[in-house]
Amino acid sequence: MRYNWDWSIYFQRASDGSGTWLHYLFVGLAWTLATALAAWVIALVVGSIVGTLRTTPSKWIVRLGNAYVEIFRNIPLLVQMFLWFFVLPELLPKGLGDAVKQIPPPWGSYLPAVLSLGIYTSVRVAEQVRAGIQSLPRGQRMAGTALGLTLPQNYRFVLLPMAFRIILPPLTSEFLNIIKNSSVALTIGLLELTGRARAMQEFSFKVFEAFAAATVIYLVTNMIVVVLMRALERRVRVPGFIGTTAKAPQAGH
Amino acid sequence: MFSGYDFDVIQRSLPYLFRDGMTFTVTLTLLAMTGGIVFGTLLAMMRLSSFAPFSLVAGSYVNLMRSLPLVLVIFWFFFLVPYIGGWIVGAPRPIAVGAFWSAVITFTMFEAAYYCEIMRAGIQSIPRGQVAAGQALGLNYWQTMGHVILPQAFRNMLPVLLTQTIILFQDTSLVYVISATDFLGAAAKIANRDYRLVEMYTFVAAVYFVISFALSALVKRLQSRMAIVQ
């Protein structure tokens, strides 16, 4: 039982003729990062808004926020991606739906991938933002009100600046998750890093070299993100506050 | 919106979707949960061990699994398991392993890393004095763990373990990438055969939603009841 390793495969020409296999994989990394970053913008913006709304005094806004979270948390990411990719164009008015279907590759897969990944992650960001705001001592909100701040001012100047600093460590792991989860986009035809490793395995028959390279690239990317985020955490730290919520064990990826 | 919606195709395919697809999904979830919690607890004990090689090996394994996308891990095991199997039985070539057992092994090994972190937090939530008390009573390591620490750790972490299992249930849909016929896979096959993508995928989303939502509501109730007890 033996497997013939051939590490020179990385420097042979890729089947799409664009360069070596190594280059082919790094283009995949670029797509992974482009997907993850664009989705992260959606996740952060939508997640912050929904998370904040869920801590407001208005009952109906909280319910609406809860409904949003429950819907997008309880459907698997892969199914959500299929909904955006296959189902949405059919439900749109005919002209618009046809236009969506005719978006040329790879953008035709990239856009649904970014949307589904962004919305899926926004739910998890919303949970963190809500937990961060609720972990603040009650006196802070009261102090803001006593100073005569309106509700939006209170959030803008007191609650959110504190909450975001506190939840920076869990947000880091959500960002790592979004990089990993972008690999699901290979199912709708986006050739990101995992998709390209799979394609390399199919065309070069070098199974383990292909996946080993992808593994190493993911690990290094992970490490770089962690180092950068630690530096950011140190820069924005409020003395005595970071690390109060990060200890609780959480289920997730 | 529902004018061209074909409810009939869903009804016709119900037996296939649930008898073949959902059975695969649920069996896979339960097997991977059981294996993952057992293996994950062992990993947590290794990680907390004072014997450095143990904690190093377990720590590296957990960090490796947690840094990789599940899809990539599924591919790894899908190709690796036949080789390892061939090596174990001494066969000259890779042995054939079906998509199901490949998936069971993958999800057990992958989720164990996540269950490990939960169990580690659970073990650490027990006051150290209890270990000392166990030792003072003359219990050895396995007796202290098995009779004193783990039952409490497990109880404390039950809601988080169950939440992780709901995530596992949703993640099993990713076996789509190795063309297994789980619930989503079964629906995708019909969707493509009859060209009924809208109907099948909205139905799949609804079913996943109902099951996950009901389970997480149960976990929430369990959590609030436990909060009173504690």
pLDDT at A248 over 70: no
Q: Which fold has domain A35-192?
A: MetI-like fold (1.10.3720)
Strand partners for A20? A13
Select the CATH number that applies to the domain covering B7-229 from these four: 3.20.20.70, 3.40.47.40, 1.10.10.10, 1.10.3720.10: 1.10.3720.10
In B48-98, alpha helices (H): 52-67, 70-89
Residue A215: is its pLDDT beyond 60?
Answer: yes
Alpha helices in chain A (DSSP H): 21-53, 59-73, 77-82, 88-91, 94-101, 107-135, 138-146, 151-154, 160-166, 168-181, 193-204, 207-236
Do the Cβ atoms of B117 and B62 come closer than 8 Å?
yes
Nearest CA-CA distance, residue B72 and chain A, Å = 6
Q: Does residue B230 surpass a pLDDT of 70?
A: no
Sequence-ordered list of residues with C-beta below 8 angstroms from that of A69, at least 6 positions apart, any chain: A50, A54, A123, A126, A127
Say if CB B202 and CB B187 are below 8 A apart. no
- Determine the 3-state secondary structure of B55 from DSSP: helix
**What value does the CA radius of gyration of chain A take, rounded to a whole number of Å?**
22
Q: Nearest CA of chain A to the CA of B138: how many Å?
A: 32
Identify whether the C-beta of residue A3 lies closer than 8 Å to the C-beta of residue A208: yes
- A-contacting residues of B 30-59, CB under 8 Å? none
Confidence tier at A245 by pLDDT (50, 70, 90): very low
Task: Tell me which residues of chain A have a C-beta less than 8 Å from any C-beta of chain B.
Answer: 1, 3, 70-71, 73-80, 82-83, 86-87, 90-91, 176, 180-184, 186-187, 194, 197-198, 201, 207-208, 211, 214-215, 218-219, 222, 248-253
Tens digit of each residue's pLDDT (9 = 90 or more) over B34-74: 999 999 999 999 999 999 999 999 999 999 999 999 999 99
The closest of A138, A155, A140, A146 to A61, measured between CA atoms, is A155
CB-facing half-sphere around the CA of A223: CA atoms within 13 A: 7
Tell me: pLDDT of B111 over 90. Answer: yes
Minimal CA separation from A131 to chain B, in Å: 16
State how far the Cα of B63 lies from the Cα of B82, in Å rounded to an integer.
25
B20 interfaces chain A, CB cutoff of 8 Å: no
Residue B104 identity (one-letter amino acid): V
CB of B201 within 8 A of CB of A63?
Answer: no
CB B88 within 8 A of CB B135: no
Instruction: Name the residue with tokens 């073990």.
Output: B123
Q: What integer best gives the mean pLDDT of chain B?
A: 92
- Tell me if B184 and A78 make a contact (CB, 8 A cut-off): yes
Give the span between the Cα atoms of A51 and A160, in whole angstroms.
Answer: 11
Q: Where are the domains of chain B?
A: 7-229
Q: What tens digit of pLDDT does each residue of A12-63 get?
A: 888 777 788 899 999 999 999 999 999 999 999 999 999 999 999 999 999 9
Domain-wise residue ranges, chain A: 35-192
